[in-house]
Amino acid sequence: MPDYKAPLRDMRFVLNEVLDLDGHYARLGLEEVNSELLNAFLEEGAKFAENELSPLNRSGDEEGCHFEDTVVTTPKGFKEAYAKYVEGGSVHLIPAPISSDVHQEIMRLSALAHETLGCRGVSRADFRFDGDGLFLLEINTQPGMTATSLVPEQAAHVGMAFTELVGWMVENAECDQ
C-alpha cells in the first residue's frame, strides 16, 4: 500500500492565498492567530494522519467494523490510534480573545438559546464570529466531561473544581415525570 503524504502545500495555499488567513484574523484583532500557528497545527495533524491513521487503512479495509450483541469491534490498531488522538487533546483559548462586548453578547445569546430550547443542566453553545456578526452553530446538551473537554476546562477557569461541577450537575438534574 502506498505511503500517504498529507497535502500540506495545498492546505497552506488555500489558507494563505485563497482565504488570506493572516488578514482575516488581523481584521478581527487576533494577530496571535496567524499562518505560523496554523502551520504548526497542520504539521502535527499531518504527522498523525501519515504515521498513525494511514497504516490502518489495510486492516480497516480487510477487517472492517462489526456490531454484534450490542458490542462494536474495530480493526486492529484503531483503539490505540484513537487513544493517541485523545491523548493529544485540544488547545482551547480561555478566555476567548474577543472584546468584552462580544463576550457579553455571546453569553446573552447562549442563555436565550438554552432557555428557548428548554435545555436543562449544562449545555454548550458554539458560535462563529466573523468580526461583524455572531452565528450560532449549535447547542450541545451533552457536552463532554473528559480531561480534554471544554466544560470542565471552562469551570476551572472560573474557579470551579471538577468535583464541584459534577456535584452541581447532580443536584440540579431533573427528570420529566
Q: Phi, psi (5° rounding) for residue 20?
A: 50, 60
- Whether residue 88 is predicted with pLDDT greater than 80 in this model: the reply is no
- Whether residue 87 is predicted with pLDDT greater than 90 in this model: the reply is no
Confidence at residue 59, expressed as pLDDT on a 0 to 100 scale: 84
Confidence at residue 1, expressed as pLDDT on a 0 to 100 scale: 54
Q: Which residues contact 87 (CB under 8 A, 6 or more apart)?
A: none
- Whether residue 6 is predicted with pLDDT greater than 90 in this model: the reply is yes
Confidence at residue 96, expressed as pLDDT on a 0 to 100 scale: 84
Indicate the pTM of the whole model.
0.59
- Whether residue 177 is predicted with pLDDT greater than 70 in this model: the reply is no
Mean pLDDT of 46-69: 88
| The three cell numbers locating residue 56 | 490502518
- For residue 85, name the pLDDT band (cuts at 50, 70, 90): confident
Distance of CA 8 to CAs 15, 18, 21, 53, 133, Å?
Answer: 10, 14, 15, 16, 31
Scan for cell 450490542, then name that residue. 70
Q: Phi, psi (5° rounding) for residue 7?
A: -80, 65
Q: Which domains does the chain have, with CATH numbers?
A: 8-88 (no CATH), 100-171 (3.30.470.20)
CA distance 100 to 102: 6
- For residue 113, name the pLDDT band (cuts at 50, 70, 90): very high
pLDDT digits (tens, 9 = 90+) for 142-161: 888 876 788 998 999 999 99
> How would DSSP label each residue in 49-89?
IIIIIGGGHHHHHHH--EEETTEEE--TTHHHHHHHHHHH-
- For residue 164, name the pLDDT band (cuts at 50, 70, 90): very high
